[in-house]
């Protein structure tokens, strides 16, 4: 399938031929080998997969914390309806970003708050919203009791004493605004995918409406994650079994990380945070999450469009890490990471105004990520694998209390309970 994502992946593969050749040769050898080769390879992958899966579980935010955060939506909605005298049915508040794609992670030190991104869609058939600045400021006034603080396109509500803060973006559905307002919006931003979820948000520095599609971005990530790139090696092994009954069957994988795109987003964001904490990259220039998410999802989508398949999620994780940095475009001397849902929006726009510092940080992080994954995959001993995964992703060492990763030995260990610090 000749899609934009497929073209990006093909370009990335041209820039990283060594890793691709190695992957293809490995897969060809596996297909042509004996059933014992399949079994040995899956056992080997299983050791890495268990450690990475436990790390993924450790950095995830608890469902109870997410539920507590979503309760805040109703509180905000009631404030708006009461203080602005708007009908409650005219206000719709939905999560966006990492919450809606199930890729929210806790901070490495465990004490920082995590942020919940939300969008407030207002039905303008009930209210007046022609002036973007007045619309934005009226929202802030209504949220004064919640100590809301203005940002470029949203209001940040700190929620003192809670484990989270809310970044709340006022908006109106793009398909409900007047032709005059639509005409006044920046013409270079147009909806390219998921048109039905597109919004008009307020860009305060320019005091104008701007096209946005956060829900479309979430739908894109969620839809792409449903596409499966992992081959059913166990099923193929059963075919070989019938021809070689004396060979032991392929073992069942105790840890399932087949939701590989979401696992990659979580683990790669955590690795970025650890690189910042360790001084590998500067916090001021670290790659923002939306760039990581866009590049990974584009890469995953492109691999799917090209009908690529992988023998195990661990191999796919390694491939994503290898190809991801090469999906960044440089056109006319400018770096580009395009928003797939809003044509003309460049998530890497700031990379072109800082003397290349953000790009350098991104490449330094991407290089460290690939190197760290290779050190994990070079380990064969279960205890060494667990130790290296803990070091790379900043997971506490196991104690008598059960914190950190368990040693990977049969029987398969339960996922370690997460600590309460969140990010």
Per-residue model confidence as pLDDT tens for the chain (423 residues): 789 999 999 999 998 856 544 544 554 555 455 445 666 667 778 889 999 999 999 998 887 787 777 778 888 888 888 888 888 888 888 888 888 898 989 888 877 888 888 898 888 766 666 789 999 999 999 999 999 999 999 999 999 888 889 998 999 998 888 777 777 776 667 888 899 999 999 999 999 889 999 999 999 999 999 999 987 644 343 333 333 332 222 222 222 477 999 999 999 999 999 999 999 999 999 999 999 999 999 999 999 999 999 988 999 999 999 999 999 999 999 999 999 999 999 999 999 999 999 999 999 999 999 999 999 999 989 999 999 999 999 998 876 444 455 433 333 333 333 333 333
Q: What is the CATH classification number for the domain harbouring 144?
A: 3.30.460.10
Domain, as residue range, for 388: 4-60+223-393
Q: Are 166 and 151 in contact (CB under 8 A)?
A: no
Same domain, 251 and 107: no
Same domain, 245 and 214: no
Domain membership flag for residue 157: yes
Cα separation, 196 vs 190, whole angstroms: 13
End-to-end alpha carbon distance in the chain: 38
Domain membership flag for residue 401: no
Same domain, 131 and 21: no
Same domain, 127 and 48: no
Coil, helix or strand at residue 79: helix
Same domain, 105 and 15: no
Using CB atoms within 10 Å of the CB of residue 103, give its burial: 0 to 12 exposed, 13 to 18 middle, 19+ buried.
buried
Cα torsion for 307, 308, 310, 315, to the nearest 10°?
Answer: -150
Last residue of a domain, one of 221, 238, 273: 221
Domain membership flag for residue 232: yes
The pLDDT value recorded for residue 73 is: 80
Residues 6+ apart with CB under 8 A from 78: 88
Domain membership flag for residue 398: no
Residues 6+ apart with CB under 8 A from 307: 1
Same domain, 239 and 298: yes
Same domain, 264 and 294: yes
Domain membership flag for residue 422: no
Same domain, 175 and 324: no
If one counts the domains in the chain, the total is 2
Same domain, 99 and 27: no
Last residue of a domain, one of 221, 242, 264: 221
The pLDDT value recorded for residue 316 is: 94
Residues 6+ apart with CB under 8 A from 327: 8, 9, 11, 12, 295, 298, 299, 337
The pLDDT value recorded for residue 188 is: 62
Last residue of a domain, one of 205, 221, 237: 221
| Predicted TM-score of the model (pTM) | 0.84
Domain membership flag for residue 289: yes
Same domain, 191 and 248: no
Same domain, 78 and 114: yes
Domain membership flag for residue 240: yes
Q: Are 118 and 96 in contact (CB under 8 A)?
A: yes
Domain membership flag for residue 403: no
Same domain, 346 and 231: yes
């Amino acid at each position: 399938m000749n899609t934009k994502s497929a073209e990006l992946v093909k370009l990335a593969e041209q820039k990283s031929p060594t890793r691709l050749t190695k992957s293809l040769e490995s897969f060809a050898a596996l297909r042509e080998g004996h059933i014992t080769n399949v079994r040995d390879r899956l056992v080997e992958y299983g050791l890495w997969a268990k450690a990475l899966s436990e790390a993924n579980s450790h950095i995830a935010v608890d469902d109870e914390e997410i539920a507590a955060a979503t309760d805040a939506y109703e509180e905000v909605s009631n404030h708006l309806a009461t203080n602005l005298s708007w009908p409650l049915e005219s206000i719709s508040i939905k999560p966006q970003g990492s919450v809606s794609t199930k890729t929210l992670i806790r901070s490495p030190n465990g004490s920082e708050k995590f942020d919940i991104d939300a969008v407030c869609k207002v039905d303008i058939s009930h209210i007046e919203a022609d002036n973007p600045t007045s619309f934005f400021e009226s929202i802030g006034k209504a949220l004064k009791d919640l100590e809301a603080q203005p940002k470029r396109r949203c209001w940040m509500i700190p929620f003192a004493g809670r484990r989270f803060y809310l970044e709340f973006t006022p908006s109106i559905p793009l398909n409900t605004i007047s032709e005059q307002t639509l005409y006044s919006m920046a013409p270079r931003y147009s909806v390219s995918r998921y048109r039905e979820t597109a919004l008009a948000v307020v860009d305060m520095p320019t005091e104008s409406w701007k096209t946005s599609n956060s829900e479309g971005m979430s739908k894109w990530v969620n839809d792409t994650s449903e596409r499966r790139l992992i081959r059913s090696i166990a099923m193929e092994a059963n075919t070989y079994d019938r021809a070689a009954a004396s060979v032991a069957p392929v073992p069942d994988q105790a840890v399932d990380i087949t939701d590989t795109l979401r696992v990659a987003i979580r683990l790669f964001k955590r690795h970025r945070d650890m690189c910042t904490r360790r001084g590998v990259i500067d916090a001021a220039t670290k790659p923002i999450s939306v760039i990581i998410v866009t590049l990974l999802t584009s890469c995953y989508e492109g691999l799917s469009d090209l009908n690529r398949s992988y023998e195990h999620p661990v191999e796919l994780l390694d491939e994503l890490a290898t190809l991801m940095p090469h999906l960044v475009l440089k056109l006319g001397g400018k770096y580009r990471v395009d928003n797939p849902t809003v044509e003309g929006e460049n998530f890497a726009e700031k990379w072109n105004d800082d003397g290349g510092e953000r790009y350098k940080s991104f490449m330094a992080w991407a290089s460290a990520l690939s190197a760290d994954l290779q050190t994990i995959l070079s380990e064969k001993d279960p205890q060494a694998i667990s130790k290296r995964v803990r070091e790379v992703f900043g997971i506490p060492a196991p104690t008598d209390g059960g914190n950190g990763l368990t040693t990977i030995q049969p029987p398969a260990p339960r996922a370690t309970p997460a600590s309460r610090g969140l990010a």
